[in-house]
A and B are shown apart, each in its own frame.
Chain A
Amino acid sequence: MLYREAGQFKTTYAEDQQIFPIRQDRIAMALLLVVAFVVVPMIANQYWLAAILTPFLILALAALGLNILTGYAGQLSLGTAAFMAVGAFMTYNFVLRMPWLGIIPSLVLAGLCAAGVGIAFGLPSLRIKGFYLAVATLACQFFVLWVLQRVGWFSNHSTSGVITAQKIVILGYEFVSPASKYLFTLAVVAVMALAAKNLMRSQTGRAFMAVRDMDVAASVIGIRMMGTKLLAFGISSFYCGVAGALYAFCYLGTVEPEAFSLDLSFRVLFMIIIGGVGSILGSFLGAAFITLLPIILSVLSGAFSHVTGIEISYAVLSNFELIVFGGLIIFFLIVEPQGLARLWQITKEKLRLWPFPH
């Protein structure tokens, strides 16, 4: 009843081409932003802000980056965490060595460095395809982390290998409290998500999708393979790099190679698979799912042992979490291979007809 587009006539091209052509979507989006920027920092407690919402946003950004590469341009990558590590370490170095630069330009420059690394490791994609490429990106994962560990310059010759991230300062205001870090992250993520959404509607995005769907056909209609693939690697790594910097500066508070292990790469990959490959919304849904799942599981098991009186040992619990996690992934792939974003789309289509489907 409420979700109808009847009567919304579009009289200009600009109206026809806006991001959310349906008025209800625009209202919902505005409400969501208001809730995220104003309501959440007011009502959420420190734990939720620092341990759940901030990492959720950061991982959503990383998932968005990977989605650009894997979901839109069709190049499977297992090196996400390496690009994130580059972003984190380079931000640290820019802030350390060029303090006059400010945090935002440092973030952008670090993202560009990650993009450079991404393009370098994207070069094989011109020759190698499919799973061969996926394994090749593993080389990036191991090599980059090795370099960051071995070359002292990156960690400013720190002996422990764990560096404390600098404070985020903009115009003299220090982002220290969880709420302020959350807002900083949210602002960055919102801007970059908007940019990604627009980019994917542009000629570049369509070129990505053409390469994904059939590379021969894409090159026949005049899309340059090399430029497009490398651009996809560059943009994706830029997003991952910024996400990695936020991960270190807003969430962990430290910059260390161990935080960016292969495990993180896989988690981000799970996010886009569960959320929806080739969907901006899907990156967020997937990130929410993967971040919340362990918390829900531990709450459930706590409730279980409270009700039945059986104490579950930590080892069993963590292994049980593994099983449920893996099982859910398989379950989701079987039930909805196109992810949560597809479920949302189906819901919207149903809503448009509700309550009279015929």
Chain B
Amino acid sequence: MTTIPFAQRTYSRSKGQQDTFGDFTCLHCGRLVQSHELLSGVRNRNHCPHCLSSRHLDLYAAGDRLAACKGRMQPVALTLKHDGNKYRRNSGELMLVHICDECGKLSINRIAADDDNERILRVFAASQRLDPDTQAALTHAGITPLEAWQKELVQRRLWGGR
């Protein structure tokens, strides 16, 4: 990742910056992705629900569309979004961690209601055998991937139950 030597300008929501940029065709699996909030349960549909791939489009803030990289972002791991409750173990929302194939940018994204749960579980399984570079990048970014012993937690978050 290169450091951008340009001043970050005040983010102001204008007509060009919206929560959703409409339906799109996944560049990786080629399937049409509906971005409507009613289907996905999220306002920012930022990855394909079928193959879970994303694209590196944002630079500073979600929706700013300032990144010129536009590389494919692969799901590499799952993590928990801290909810601020330090007394509750394993609390927080289950999140997908994406990494850009081109420049290595990491991003943490919400899992949507229509995401393929089986595939999320496969990402979790694969994340137990991360290559050292990705592992180092996650550590450097302060992201703690979920580990094998947390599988039950992942399943509970995906399919419900106690």
Binding partners A and B: no
B residues lining the A interface (CB < 8 Å): none
